[in-house]
């Protein structure tokens, strides 16, 4: 089956090129360093080092603690981080600067992967969350490069798709791969795909170990004091198509009882920024755009954050956080980021990307699940009107996060022996 996959990967390569070219029409960053996606490029490591792969922004943020841990323990070992999306590349540049090399990940053809390995000479590969690439995994096995799936997860929905090709993934997972799963459920799903039980471990969610830089929190508080000091503020974070309409309808209801309430709206994907701005404009409310250097004035009801990498800053601005991707069947986004700021957290019913974290926060009384615009409006209005309730829910969120920590240390304990053994 792996041989068939190799043939299909080459046949699909022209389609991948067309998709990237199409995406570049709305985001020119997809056209930059195009050759890296097929293993070419000028960036390289001058000696064997550490390779961390993080698809996009969320995985880059989760990887930040891993990068810092590697820096502390192996200060002389070079590092490369790969991403798939330009937004992930931008976030990596913000977080790590010139401390590490960045490259776009190679498309999973044998030639692209081989050229990437020749350029970067990875001593170890750490792949964040769920990226199952048979050719890449096979090349790690062929070269004797230890491969760790860190913060690994598989949703029940994804498992069904993977099981259709279980022979392919069973072979891909047979190259001595170490799996550091987020939860017992994730670990069991990997075993169902053929992962070795002896090399499948439960280390927890790395995002529970995250600490937002103090300067981000300070900047958020400064923004709030400068532009909305007396206003109740809530944030709708990482929204998708179909959710902005619900959020705006909920905000309209909130303002009937709290006329000065301000909504900070942060769409998930930059290619949708213009469409969301048009939607807000058609709703008839006054709003400002972050990308135009606008700031919310007293008459503005919505502040559209149509920039990249600023979600943590605006979590620090708000009183209540709604984490989107959950009112539509996307699977939800990072619930732990607002919890780290001791914020009360709201989400829709579709949280299958992080079922264990969702259940943990809900059981602790830190997360409230809402079903629609009416439920969201009621929950937001109640929390914005009751400071004591906000503090109680926020403290429950912070305490739950603290009790769930330790994933980074457990992950590094798995990685250390792999780095100390001879390559190959």
214-403: what fold?
Rossmann fold (3.40.50)
pTM (2 d.p.): 0.80
What single string gives the DSSP state of each residue in 350-419? --GGGHHHHHHHHHTT-EEE--SHHHHHHHHHHHHH-HHHHHHHHHHHHHHHHHT--HHHHHHHHHHHHH
pLDDT digits (tens, 9 = 90+) for 9-27: 888 888 888 988 888 887 8
**Whether the predicted pLDDT of 46 surpasses 70:** yes
Catalytic residue among 32, 35, 36, 59: 59
pLDDT at 199 exceeding the cut of 80: yes
- Give me the percent of the chain exceeding a pLDDT of 90: 65
59 catalytic per annotation:
yes
Of 243, 261, 240, nearest to 252 by C-alpha is: 261
| Token pair for 363 | 């059981």
- 223's tokens: 């923004």
Same fold, 2-204+406-420 and 214-403: yes
pLDDT reported for residue 292? 93
Query: pLDDT tens-digit profile of 336-393?
Result: 899 989 999 999 999 988 888 899 899 999 999 999 999 999 999 999 999 999 999 9
Report the candidate in 78, 83, 92 with the shortest Cα–Cα distance to residue 124: 78
Domain borders along the chain are 2-204+406-420, 214-403
Handedness of CA 13, 15, 19, 21 (dihedral sign): positive
Q: What is the pLDDT of residues 63-121, one digit of tens each?
A: 988 999 999 999 999 999 999 988 889 888 888 888 899 999 999 999 999 999 999 99
C-alpha 266/C-alpha 272 separation (Å) is 11
**What gap in Å lies between CA 303 and CA 265, rounded to an integer?**
6
In whole angstroms, give the CA distance from residue 340 to residue 30: 32
Pick among 3.40.50.2300, 1.10.3720.10, 1.10.1060.10, 3.40.50.11720: CATH of 2-204+406-420: 3.40.50.11720
């Amino acid at each position: 089956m792996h041989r068939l996959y190799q043939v299909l990967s080459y046949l699909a390569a022209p389609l991948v090129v067309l998709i990237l070219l199409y995406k570049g029409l709305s985001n020119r960053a997809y056209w930059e360093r195009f050759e890296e996606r097929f293993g070419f490029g000028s960036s390289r490591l001058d000696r064997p080092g550490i390779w961390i792969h993080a698809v996009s922004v969320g995985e880059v943020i989760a990887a930040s603690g891993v990068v810092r841990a590697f820096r502390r323990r192996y200060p002389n070992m070079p590092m490369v981080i790969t991403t798939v999306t330009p937004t992930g590349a931008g976030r990596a540049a913000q977080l790590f600067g010139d401390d590490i090399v960045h490259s776009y990940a190679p498309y999973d053809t044998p030639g692209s992967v081989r050229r990437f390995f020749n350029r970067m000479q990875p001593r170890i590969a750490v792949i964040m969350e769920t990226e199952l690439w048979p050719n890449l995994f096979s090349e790690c096995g062929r070269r004797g490069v230890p491969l760790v799936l860190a913060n690994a997860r598989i949703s029940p929905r994804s498992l069904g798709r993977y099981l259709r090709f279980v022979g392919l993934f069973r072979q891909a997972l047979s190259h001595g791969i170490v799996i550091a799963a987020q939860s017992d459920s994730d670990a069991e799903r990997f075993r169902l795909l053929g992962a070795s039980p002896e090399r499948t471990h439960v280390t927890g969610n790395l995002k529970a170990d995250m600490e937002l830089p103090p300067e981000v929190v300070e900047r958020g508080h400064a923004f709030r004091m400068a532009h909305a000091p007396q206003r109740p503020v809530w944030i709708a974070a990482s929204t998708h198509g179909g959710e902005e309409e619900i959020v705006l309808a909920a905000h309209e209801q909130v303002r009937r009882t709290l006329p000065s309430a301000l909504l900070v709206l942060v769409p998930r994907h930059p290619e949708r920024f213009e469409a969301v701005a048009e939607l807000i404009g058609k709703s008839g409310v006054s709003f400002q755009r972050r990308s135009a250097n606008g700031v919310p004035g007293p008459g503005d009801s919505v502040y559209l954050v149509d920039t990249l990498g600023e979600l943590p800053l605006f979590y620090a601005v708000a009183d209540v956080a709604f984490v989107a991707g959950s009112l539509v069947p996307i699977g939800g986004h990072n619930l732990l980021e607002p919890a780290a700021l001791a914020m009360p957290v709201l989400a829709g019913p579709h949280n299958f990307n992080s079922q264990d974290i969702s259940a943990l926060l809900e059981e602790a009384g830190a997360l409230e699940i809402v079903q629609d615009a009416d439920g969201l409006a009621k929950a937001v209005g109640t929390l914005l009107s009751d400071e004591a309730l906000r503090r109680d829910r926020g403290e429950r969120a912070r305490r739950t996060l603290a009790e769930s920590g330790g994933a980074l240390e457990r992950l590094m304990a798995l990685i250390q022996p792999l780095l100390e053994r001879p390559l190959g």
